[in-house]
Amino acid sequence: MEAIYQYAWLVPVLPLVGAMLVGLGLISFNQVTNRARQLNAVFVVSLLGAAMFLSVALLVSQFQGHAPYIRTLEWAAAGNFHLTMGYTIDHLTALMLVIVTTVAFLVMVYTDGYMAHDPGYVRFYAYLSLFSSSMLGLVVSPNIVQIYIFWELVGMCSYLLVGFWYDRQAAADACQKAFVTNRVGDFGLLLGILGLYWATGSFEFEAIGDRLQILVETGSLSSLLAGLFAILVFLGPVAKSAQFPLHVWLPDAMEGPTPISALIHAATMVAAGVFLIARMYPVFEGIPAAMNVIAFTGAFTAFLGATIAITQNDIKKGLAYSTISQLGYMVMAMGVGAYSAGLFHLMTHAYFKAMLFLGSGSVIHGMEGVVGHDPALAQDMRMMGGLRKFMPITAITFLIGTLAISGIPPFAGFWSKDEILGSAFAANPLLWFVGWATAGITAFYMFRMYFSTFEGKFRGHQAEIRQKLKSAAANTLMSPSPLAPNFGPGAMDTRELAALSDDSHGHGHNEHPHESPWTMTLPLIALAIPSILIGLVGTPYANYFEEFIYPPSETLAEVMEKVAEFDQTEFFIMAGSSVGISLIGITLASLMYLFGRIDPAAIASSIKPLYELSLNKWYFDDIYHRFFVLGSRRLARQVMEVDYRVVDGAVNLTGFFTLISGEGLKYLENGRAQFYALIVFGAVLGLVIVFGVT
């Protein structure tokens, strides 16, 4: 078994090798590599599959009680400064490796069907493999410097994948928005890392936590400064995991192909933020102020994402705001000290959210055969309806994911979400109430999405709806709001505008949507199994997950003692309340979107200010555009004026004086010795007169 740990470094290296070889093939032998597209795909998927099997073996070994394994080598040294690089395998690492590799493997299989006709098929596989390698490298990192290196690589890969269709203006703008927004958080993370090293002299996670606590207790470091360092580190997860106020990039990241939407939102980029909080838990745990900031940030983000998702008509953007909300749950759990509950929800969410995103891609794939490749039509739920009869596998798996995320027992999301709510109630009833209300909103918008997409009559042939959606998209392009940011799905280039105005361009050719090929439906079925069953490893009756994953500050005996203190009455009260609010949300969604007993338009008009607030995403994009985009432009113009008038003016003035003085001095240099002697005599006479008078 020890040999597995000695070769654990292959887990991130195998997909990296695939990305490098395919990338070199595209650079050196582009046409040949693109012709062998299936061979390249099999090669990349096989390497990731090998990494997946190795990850599962490591998880089994850790579950059987193998001690954590760390292997490092000295990377840089200068005096007393030593920086090591390597890899570590512990319970948290083993769990994350399995989550990332399994979801990435299924996404890659799915990609073969979804991207079958895309000319960038091979390039997309190379990007996916590099993305997976970067995340796996981040997971096995033994210190915060190595995490930061892979952290930036993950951000670079997301830039490449979100902007994969770079010839579309919307995709180009979305990847730039994601990149810039994440740089804000990453700068805070870098400052926090430097501050912690200045205070503790270490980059190792537990050493930082222990030394920081001693420094604060002895008064060598103020608690205010320690809290500042911790919050700066937290800024990294705020951006990566799309927490308020840096959440605005994630919905626009839907401009990338759906497989990468699933991978980003389920197991890689956004999971990296929660993973970093877990890794840095020894630091955060000893600073109550930082824990409160984390908890309330997560709670507000959960509520924010859910309230915006209510009014989304784009199926992918609705799921994107759902991801923001669910990540808020995980961050809130970390903030209230529910370490294992937050990671438990990270695991269950990775599987059912990946299935939901891949299900939305299957729906879009089927709709494009009817309405064409216009995202304004193929992704809008108002054009759907009744797809269950045409796409039964997609419908059933999407329903399973909807039940899981809504917290309905015995699906996976119920157990993890209920554990978070129970921990939040014990820590702060206000946080519990926000999470409880968010659970009801989540059930409402998810079943709104399911009913609008899969139930009722198919609306894809209704010319009135189609024309209305195309006109709305065209109006957005021709006369954007003065405050509307120039990015996101509304910002298209002239070719997309032509597609909207020309019915013959990109129009579908099928009468009805069709079920997706087996390469797309098989991953959906595979993900449906853990979405139903994986929550059973963390039930209060037999919480194997908490026995395996627990905070570094606790011992297994303490964990077992807490597990043994399970109060069945309290569990039924808390679980009943969360299931009850979810059932209320499902009932309301059924009355509005399934049975038609309640008119959604009437409800929207009766609460128009709240409806407008949700529809306009709480106006965050508009506010950011006004203060940051337009503000930066005004500042740039002012700086340009200073540069032109002051900096350039000073340089030009110096040149002018040099020119004038040179012109004047050239008349004094005539080469006649008598003239020079006269000048010297005059100067001496002047000095004599001046000093003689004084």
What value, to the nearest 5°, has the Cα angle with vertex 394 and ends 344 and 51?
A: 50
pLDDT digits (tens, 9 = 90+) for 309-354: 999 998 999 999 999 999 999 999 999 988 999 999 999 999 999 9
pLDDT at 441 over 70: yes
Q: Which amino acid is at 257?
A: P
**Among residues 155, 139, 235, which one has the least CA distance to residue 193?**
235
Contacts of 60 (CB under 8 A, 6+ apart): none
Report how far residue 205's alpha carbon sits from residue 281's, in angstroms, rounded to the nearest whole number: 8
How buried is residue 629: exposed, middle or buried, by Cβ count under 10 Å (0-12/13-18/19+)?
middle
Are the C-beta atoms of residues 431 and 490 closer than 8 Å to each other? no
Report how far residue 644's alpha carbon sits from residue 642's, in angstroms, rounded to the nearest whole number: 5
DSSP states of 568-582 as a string? HHHHHHHHHHHHHHH
Contacts of 301 (CB under 8 A, 6+ apart): 242, 243, 244, 247, 324, 325, 327, 328, 331
**Among residues 591, 607, 606, 302, which one has the least CA distance to residue 448?**
591
**Among residues 511, 533, 514, which one has the least CA distance to residue 393?**
514
Residue 229 has a pLDDT of 93
Residues facing 84 on adjacent strands: 74
The count of other CB atoms within 10 Å of the CB of residue 529 is 12
pLDDT digits (tens, 9 = 90+) for 196-248: 999 998 888 888 988 998 999 888 888 899 999 999 999 999 999 889 999 99
In this prediction, residues 171-179 reach a mean pLDDT of: 90
pLDDT at 56 over 50: yes
What value, to the nearest 5°, has the Cα angle with vertex 435 and ends 576 and 621?
A: 145
Report how far residue 369's alpha carbon sits from residue 378's, in angstroms, rounded to the nearest whole number: 9
What value, to the nearest 5°, has the Cα angle with vertex 237 and ends 235 and 242?
A: 100
pLDDT at 500 over 50: no
Percent of the chain exceeding pLDDT 70 equals 93
The count of other CB atoms within 10 Å of the CB of residue 636 is 10
Q: Alpha helix (H) ranges present in 85-222?
A: 91-114, 121-139, 144-162, 169-200, 205-218
Find the range with the poorest average confidence among 295-299, 467-471, 592-596.
467-471
What would you report as the CA-atom Rg of the chain, rounded to the nearest whole angstrom?
30
Helix and strand totals (H; E) in the chain: 33, 4
| 450 φ, ψ (degrees, to nearest 5) | -65, -50
The CA-atom distances, in angstroms, between 62 and each of 4, 55, 72, 569, 660 are 11, 11, 19, 33, 81
pLDDT at 481 over 60: no
Hey, is 353 helix, strand or coil?
A: helix
Percent of the chain exceeding pLDDT 90 equals 48
Please state the three-class secondary structure of 263-306 as a single string: HHHHCCHHHHHHHHHHHCHHHHCCCHHHHHHHHHHHHHHHHHHH
In this prediction, residues 291-305 reach a mean pLDDT of: 94
How buried is residue 634: exposed, middle or buried, by Cβ count under 10 Å (0-12/13-18/19+)?
exposed
Hey, is 77 helix, strand or coil?
A: strand
Contacts of 450 (CB under 8 A, 6+ apart): 398, 399, 402
Hey, is 416 helix, strand or coil?
A: helix
Token pair in block for residue 34: 């693109």
Residue 498 has a pLDDT of 40
pTM of the model: 0.87
Report how far residue 100's alpha carbon sits from residue 103's, in angstroms, rounded to the nearest whole number: 6
Report how far residue 654's alpha carbon sits from residue 678's, in angstroms, rounded to the nearest whole number: 31
pLDDT digits (tens, 9 = 90+) for 510-565: 778 888 899 899 999 999 999 999 989 988 888 888 888 888 877 777 778 777 77
| 464 φ, ψ (degrees, to nearest 5) | -65, -45
- Cis check: omega of the bond before 245, within 30 degrees of 0: yes
In this prediction, residues 436-453 reach a mean pLDDT of: 94
Contacts of 380 (CB under 8 A, 6+ apart): 313, 314, 315, 469
**Among residues 483, 405, 490, which one has the least CA distance to residue 450?**
405
Report how far residue 512's alpha carbon sits from residue 500's, in angstroms, rounded to the nearest whole number: 21
The count of other CB atoms within 10 Å of the CB of residue 42 is 14
**Residue 261's pLDDT band (boundaries 50, 70, 90)?**
confident
Secondary structure letter of residue 201 according to DSSP: S
pLDDT at 479 over 50: no
Contacts of 596 (CB under 8 A, 6+ apart): none
Q: Look at the block and give the residue holding tokens 């505008």.
A: 497
**Among residues 50, 41, 38, which one has the least CA distance to residue 8?**
50
What value, to the nearest 5°, has the Cα angle with vertex 280 and ends 277 and 281?
A: 80
H or E segment at 140? none
The count of other CB atoms within 10 Å of the CB of residue 585 is 24
- Cis check: omega of the bond before 410, within 30 degrees of 0: yes
Residue 492 has a pLDDT of 39
